[in-house]
């Protein structure tokens, strides 16, 4: 089973994915961006497009890797990744579904002021790339292709994770971390995402 967590930058994908991973036994996180970084580092600069999602090879690699992992791994694969182009969605998620892979897709949705506030809270500047992508992401994710929206304006990461788990029919382990440990874990992820 694959749980794909979509949403604009700042919607809470990474935090929610890690919360699910911590609380779902036999789960892993797969990050499609790593294929993009690999392509950027290994292709001649003249062949690399500005957004690696625009490269058919990026979509092919991620489809192939997710298909392989799903066949070989008997756990839950959690994928936190913004994807707003319906064609790209179809080429990865649609193709996997056609092959019989169970994919639960969710969009973490938040208002633009909330997204901007969260991104600034993690150190993004007013005109950063992530903030400049909000309108494009919200417009793309507004189409009917991207179903199962979970509004995260006024809920915690833990509530978002519980909602996704319930909708995916997955049991979560209890979260026995202390308040300070939760804050520390959240802080470490924010540092990593900078």
What is the pTM assigned to this prediction?
Answer: 0.90
Is 58 a residue whose pLDDT tops 90? yes
Domain range enclosing 14: 2-189
CB atoms within 10 A of CB 193: 13
Residue 174 covered by a domain: yes
What's the confidence (pLDDT) of residue 127? 82
Residues sharing a CB contact under 8 Å with residue 116, sequence separation 6 or more, in sequence order: 10, 131, 134
| Helical (H) or strand (E) element with 7 | strand 2-7
Give the residue-averaged pLDDT of 65-80: 97
Per residue in 110-132, pLDDT (tens digit) is 999 999 999 998 888 888 888 99
Per DSSP, the three-state class of 3 is strand
Residue 118 covered by a domain: yes
Residue 166 covered by a domain: yes
Is 194 a residue whose pLDDT tops 70? no
What's the confidence (pLDDT) of residue 129? 87
How many domains, in total, are found in the chain?
A: 1
Is 32 a residue whose pLDDT tops 80? yes
Residue 139 covered by a domain: yes
Residue 194 covered by a domain: no
What's the confidence (pLDDT) of residue 190? 65
Is 6 a residue whose pLDDT tops 60? yes
Give the integer Cα–Cα distance in Å for 190 and 172.
23
Residue 127 covered by a domain: yes
Of 24-38, 66-80, 176-190, which gets the smallest average pLDDT?
Answer: 176-190
- Here the CATH number for the domain that contains residue 106 is 3.40.50.300
What's the confidence (pLDDT) of residue 192? 63
Is 90 a residue whose pLDDT tops 60? yes
What's the confidence (pLDDT) of residue 184? 75
Per DSSP, the three-state class of 6 is strand
End-to-end C-alpha distance for the chain, whole angstroms: 29
92 closest CA partner among 116, 64, 73: 64
Is 179 a residue whose pLDDT tops 80? no
Residue 73 covered by a domain: yes
Give the residue-averaged pLDDT of 170-181: 82
Residue 115 covered by a domain: yes
Per DSSP, the three-state class of 182 is helix
Mean pLDDT over the full length of the chain: 91
């Amino acid at each position: 089973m694959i749980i794909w967590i979509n949403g604009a930058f700042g919607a809470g994908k990474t935090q929610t994915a890690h919360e699910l991973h911590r609380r779902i036994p036999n789960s892993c996180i797969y990050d499609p961006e790593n294929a993009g970084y690999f392509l950027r580092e290994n292709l001649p600069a003249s062949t690399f497009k500005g957004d690696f999602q625009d490269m058919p090879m990026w979509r092919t690699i991620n489809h192939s890797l997710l298909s392989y992992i799903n066949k070989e791994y008997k756990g839950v694969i959690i994928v936190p990744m913004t994807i707003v182009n319906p064609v790209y969605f179809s080429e990865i998620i649609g193709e996997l579904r056609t092959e019989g892979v169970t994919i639960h897709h969710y969009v973490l949705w938040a208002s633009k002021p909330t997204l901007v506030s969260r991104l600034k809270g993690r150190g993004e500047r007013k005109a950063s790339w992530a903030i400049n992508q909000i309108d494009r992401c919200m417009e793309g994710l507004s189409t009917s292709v991207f179903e199962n929206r979970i509004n995260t304006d006024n809920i915690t990461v833990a509530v978002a994770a519980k909602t996704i788990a319930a909708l995916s029919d997955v049991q979560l382990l209890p979260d026995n971390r202390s308040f300070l440990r939760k804050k520390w874990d959240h802080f470490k992820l924010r540092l990593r995402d900078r």
